[in-house]
Amino acid sequence: MRLNTKTLIAGTALLASLSFAALGGTPAALATHLAAELEKWALVIKAAGIKNQ
């Protein structure tokens, strides 16, 4: 299924207005990026002493 051009442009504009950037890539690249983000934020949370409620 393909998104029509107007929907794609509107979605990209909405993301940009929220300071997000729509990027393309492979599922493997996404998995690698998410793993790195999880590791990074886990260290921040641990250093800040944030506990699960």
- The average pLDDT across 34-39 equals 96
Phi-psi map region of 17: left, alpha, beta (phi>0 left; psi -120 to 50 alpha): alpha
Average model confidence (pLDDT) across the chain:
89
Give yes or no for residue 1 having a pLDDT over 60: no
Give yes or no for residue 7 having a pLDDT over 70: yes
**Spans of all domains in the chain:** 24-53
Report yes or no: 44 and 38 within 8 Å, Cβ to Cβ.
Answer: no
SS3 53: coil
Indicate yes or no: pTM above 0.85: no
Tell me the pLDDT band of 32, cut-offs 50, 70 and 90: very high
